[in-house]
Chain A
Amino acid sequence: MFAYLLRRLLYAIPILIGVNLITFALFFIVNTPDDMARMQLGVKRVTPEAIEKWKTERSYDKPLFVNTRAAGFDALTDTIFFSRSARMFAGDFGRAEDGRDITREISMRMGPSLAVALPTFALGLFVTVSFALLLAFFRATAFDFWGVVLCVAMMSISGLFYIIGGQYLVSKLWRWVPISGFGGGLDAWKFLILPVMIGVISGIGSSTRWYRTIFLEEIGKDYVRTARAKGLSEAAVLFRHVLKNALIPILTGVVAVIPLLFLGSLLTESFFGIPGLGSYTIDAIRAQDFAIVRSMVFIGSVLYIVGLILTDISYTLVDPRIRFDR
């Protein structure tokens, strides 16, 4: 187990280096820092001096990979690649184009992101698994049919409409909760309840259908027939045997997503004005702040890989048949 984990961790390193190189290539080679400076300064103020000044302020004036003017070890470290990309491995993301410290911003914004994403995730999982179980219990009946129809219809609605419609109905028409904003402490629930509910509802369609197929697949297996042959009631079969076994693929599929919860949701956070990482990313995209986007890409892929490793661990924990002793 330990050796396997170690191997997985080692395997993650070349992938992260690859991600780092891709983002570096995208942000510095496809477009030179001169292009970025022109973009940021706007058309009117572009003079060669202004571009140089902009680059010097953000230390984009260094060579890309090898600094021939510096001596010794500095030839490799005093470059854009090292100062901007390689240092991300140490958790140092440098400064945004507006001069703020990205690492600090990220650590501050993780809390609000999680405050929305975690309840949405937990409640959503509970609701969809229960709904899917209900559909599986009433399988091949009218209830099942219309439930699936409902799921397909809900899948076909863009997330934007859930948010816009929900905000309009609940906040504007009925005036139950504030339309957007975020507060700490006990009052936070007022701001959180609507985004969480909308997040749960918009996720029902696709997840329920997916879980339903898992349940149905499990119901067709031999041990279920054995359980029925013992004379167990359908409810007992479903809840005690099928649910337990079907939870293996569900949980392992879900574990991969958990680390990505830190990133928050782009749409929800920007619509509800929640100061999390999602709205941070959107603001950065709209302001064309490449440093932030670059950092988010790196963090996102780190979290993704963590999710993959967690998935592997959870396999061994939930399903004792799987061993990674090789």
Chain B
Amino acid sequence: MSFLPVMLWSDALIWLLVLVALGLGWFSRRSPSLCRSWGRLGKNAVAMGAATVLCAFLLVGLLDSLHYRLRLPSAPGQQAEAIYSVEVLSVLDYLLKDLRDGHEKTYSAPFASRLYAKETLETPEGTVRDFPRLKYGGAHLKDESALMGDVMKRGLYGVFDALLVWMHAFIFLGIGVGINQRKNIHSLMDVWSSIKRKEILGRESRRAILRGETAIAWRGVLLALGGLLIVFLPLALLSGDYHVFGTDKVGQDVFYQILKSVRTALVIGLVTTLVTLPVAISLGILAGYFRGWVDDAIQYLYTTLSSIPGVLLIAASVLMMQVIIDTHPQWFSSAAERADLRLLALCFILGLTGWPSLCRLLRGETLKLRELEYIQAAQAFGVADLAILRRHILPNLMHIVIIALVMDFSGLVLAEAVLSYVGIGVDPTMISFGTMINSARMELSREPAVWWSLVSAFIFMFTLVLAANLLADAVRDAFDPRMG
């Protein structure tokens, strides 16, 4: 094998999260009330659009969560065991090979063909001080004045391609919805026979989609998909020959950094809630169900924890974690592993400050549930407490868990940036929105201002958080029984 698959801890948790999400979906299918909630969510065009955008981010994050180490070429005549490079790469790195390796010397503006700083150049006419050409950005052009035209032309091609892809998506979606709606189509043979009968598949359903009359608001999905394609397909096509978002101080492509930041943000936003769920759920249920001294003890625990202002508790914990990491270098075999474990530790610490609020909600709901007749009936029948908790109480708390999972996401992504700025966030070697902003914040005061790192971090973070906020609102409206 020319590579060795590597499973970092955060990878494992991310994939576990995917499993949990699938499990939750399977679980929801059996519960009519949750099915109804998902149905309400599906009708909401804004939510579906936001979910589409989030799925795109998730795709990038998942591609970035499949890690491997390349096999190093062994010395000739040596048939020893394979040696693998210490550098841990991901599938995303492989896909973005050009971006990753396309290092310039220092800053360069988006779509520039020359460097930000002047250098002494050797020309046939002698030495001059000028802006040197970039090694990769626009290097394929002989004549720089053709740059604008080249960018425009390829950009337009990209937009055209995007529209083409989008049209296909629309047509196939229409056919799919059409097949789904018609009762007489059960197999591929039926599809084939209806094509032979010259029935046009999907015309009415396409119209229904546009009018927003379908059971799932495909309109929102298509709109978001169109937006994503029109923005990113041209950018992706252009990024092979240009630095579409410029380069940073050490000459690394900003677009690459942005895509790498997505995984960090997702890990922070999702894994944090995932690791708090077991604690919050079990303690919340126990406190609400058993009351008495159990309740008192658990309430004391979370009141104490939540009475320390969040940032300070995080700061104290992260400082201590740093000391542990610094005094035990032997625990980590590589820098990537250390950064990864630090990221996970940050998730746990953020979870430490986050679980009291969820626990309080679950406790309150359990208190209400345990007084209901069906629980009392179960108790009267002599059903064991644990069975009641598992069979009757836990399923009825699921909507709170789902709401919490989605609601916390945006706050956590925003918190990561702030914490990394303060110096208690992710490892400085790990690319994240926070570290990007932190290293870019002094760049605005340069002359001329270096704005591209900040602006692109802003745009992507804003998109991610906005989508998460919109989805969170819709999820709350759909799942909270008090809302409509």
Contact = CB atoms under 8 A, between A and B. Distances in A.
Contact of A290 (B319, B433, B449): B319
B322 interface: yes
Nearest to B415: A158
B423 A31 contact: no
A27 B324 CA distance: 11
Contacts of A27: 316, 320
Contacts of A282: 422-423
A217 to B, nearest CB: 11
Interface in B429-460: 433, 437, 441, 444-445, 449, 454, 458
Contacts of A164: 437, 441, 444, 454
A156 B315 contact: no
Interface in B302-316: 303-305, 307-309, 311-313, 315-316
B307 A305 contact: yes
B461 interface: yes
Nearest to A289: B319
B315 A285 contact: yes
Contacts of B445: 172
Query: How many B residues are at the interface, by size bracket?
Result: 35 or more
B311 A160 contact: no
B357 interface: no
A297 B317 contact: no
Interface string B274-307: 0000000000000000000000000010011101
A310 to B, nearest CB: 14
Interface stretch (B158-166, B169-177, B463-471): B463-471
A18 B356 CA distance: 15
- Counting chain A CB atoms within 10 Å of each CB, which of B312, B317, B324, B458 scores highest? B312
Contacts of A304: 307-309
Contact of A39 (B326, B417, B422): B326
B312 A19 contact: no
Interface stretch (A123-131, A182-190, A218-226, A259-267): A259-267
Contact of B458 (A159, A161, A267, A294): A161
A83 to B, nearest CB: 19
Contacts of A263: 309
B410 interface: yes
A38 to B, nearest CB: 6
B184 interface: no
A301 B308 contact: yes
B315 A293 contact: yes
A259 to B, nearest CB: 11
Interface in A141-189: 152-153, 155-161, 164, 168, 172
Interface of A: 14-15, 18-19, 22-23, 26-27, 30-31, 35-36, 38-39, 152-153, 155-161, 164, 168, 172, 260, 263, 266-267, 270, 281-282, 285-286, 288, 290, 293-294, 296-297, 300-301, 303-305, 308
22 contacts: A14-B300, A19-B307, A27-B320, A152-B470, A158-B418, A158-B433, A158-B465, A160-B437, A160-B441, A161-B437, A161-B454, A282-B423, A285-B319, A285-B422, A286-B422, A293-B312, A293-B315, A293-B316, A300-B312, A301-B309, A304-B309, A308-B307
